[in-house]
């Protein structure tokens, strides 16, 4: 589905990504774990076109998308739920969901997906007419994921879905992520600081350190890896 090969990227003259290699197969949940500033968010930004890489390839379904504009990449079915959740704060919950489906023309499909996200997050239906900026942090995260799903993603990128949420809410969000993958067969790439949650929920994972992918493995195996346990799980 997605293959990131030897990608490097910079903000101005500061090299932030040196050598990133990631593969996401169809129907997989893959997570990127690593410390703050290691390059997780930047990696997602490069994949969705928000930042142009200075080297390497980003292959989506066999096609190199590196250097394309974000709206062009979005039209290929890649949906990125960015850092800060990417909501439109002065629009209603319903309008945000509509915007998520901006590129779609299949009215029936949109209606079905709306029902699916409302069944996934019933609170969003209750808050349908409320402005997104007035929702709680947990509700905003639900809306962010729901808005991403409304784009009928072939691949979903989630940046820090657990950020700023209570432990109960983190559980609910990760349950929903698993359910989306299971029921919809959507492959998902998650950048996450909460290594324990991310590794438990993923099939496979990559460890990013100083802008390079340094380790790769089965999610549950990495949970038992000594380096990962010491550096990211605090055990």
Partner 1 sequence: MQPTLFIEQTILGLMMGGIYAAVGVGLTMIFGVMRLSNFAHGEFYMLGAFLTYALVMALGGDPYLLAPLSAIAVGLVGIALNKLVFLSLYKELREAKGAAAFFFQDLRFIMLTIGLSILLVDLALVVWGPIPIAIPSVFTSHIVRLPGGLSFSLARIMAFIVATISLIVLYTFLKITKTGKAIRATSQNPSAAALVGINTYRIYDVTMFISTSLAALSGSILGPIYNVYPTMGLDVVAKAFVVVITGGMGNLMGSILAGFLIGLAESWGGLFFGTEYRQVVAFLIMILVLWFRPRGILGGRS
Site residues for partner 1 per CB under 8 A: 11-12, 45, 48-52, 69-71, 74-75, 79-80, 82, 86-91, 95, 98-100, 102-103, 147, 151
Q: Toward partner 1, which CB reaches closer, 40 or 147?
A: 147
Query: Smallest Cα–Cα separation from 102: which of 67, 145, 135, 71?
Result: 71
User: Which residues, in sequence order, are CB contacts of 130 under 8 Å at separation 6+?
Assistant: 92, 93
**Spatial CB neighbours of 17, under 8 Å, sequence gap ≥ 6:** 7, 8, 9, 10, 39, 42, 43, 46, 53, 211, 212
CB of 183 to partner 1, least distance (A): 23
Q: Taking the complex as a whole, how short is the minimal distance between the CB of residue 71 and partner 1, in angstroms?
A: 5
Contact 18, 43 (CB under 8 A): no
Q: Which is nearer to partner 1, 33 or 74 (CB)?
A: 74
Of the two residues 57 and 98, which places its CB atom closer to partner 1 in the complex?
A: 98
CB of 193 to partner 1, least distance (A): 21
Contact assessment for residue 117 and residue 150, using Cβ atoms and an 8 Å cutoff: yes
Quick one: 103 or 218, whose CB is closer to partner 1?
A: 103
Give CA separation, 142 vs 30, 164, 224, in Å.
Answer: 20, 13, 30
Strands 204-209 and 212-218: antiparallel
Closer to partner 1 by Cβ: residue 11 or 137: 11
Residue 78 CB, shortest distance to partner 1, in Å, is: 9
Least CB distance from residue 50 to partner 1, whole Å?
Answer: 5
- The answer to whether 8 and 56 have CB atoms below 8 angstroms apart is yes
């Amino acid at each position: 589905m997605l293959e990131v090969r030897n990608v490097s990227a910079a903000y101005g003259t500061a090299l932030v990504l040196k050598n990133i290699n990631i593969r996401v197969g169809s129907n997989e949940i893959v997570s990127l774990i690593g410390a703050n500033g290691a390059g997780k968010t930047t990696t997602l930004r490069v994949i969705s076109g928000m930042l142009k890489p200075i080297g390497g390839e980003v292959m989506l379904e066999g096609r190199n998308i590196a250097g394309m504009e974000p709206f062009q990449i979005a039209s290929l079915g890649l949906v990125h739920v960015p850092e800060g959740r990417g909501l439109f704060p002065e629009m209603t919950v319903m309008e945000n969901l509509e915007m998520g489906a901006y590129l779609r023309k299949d009215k029936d499909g949109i209606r079905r997906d709306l029902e699916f996200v409302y069944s996934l997050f019933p609170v969003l239906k209750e808050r349908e007419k409320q402005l997104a900026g007035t929702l709680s942090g947990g509700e905003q995260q639900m809306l962010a994921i729901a808005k991403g799903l409304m784009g009928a993603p072939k691949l979903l990128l989630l940046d820090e879905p657990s950020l700023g949420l209570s432990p109960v809410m983190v559980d609910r969000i990760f349950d929903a992520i698993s359910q989306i993958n299971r029921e919809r067969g959507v492959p998902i790439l998650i950048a996450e600081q909460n290594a324990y949650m991310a590794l438990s929920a993923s099939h496979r994972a990559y460890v990013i350190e100083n802008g390079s992918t340094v380790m790769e493995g089965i999610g549950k195996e990495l949970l038992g890896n000594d380096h990962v346990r010491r550096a990211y799980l605090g055990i």
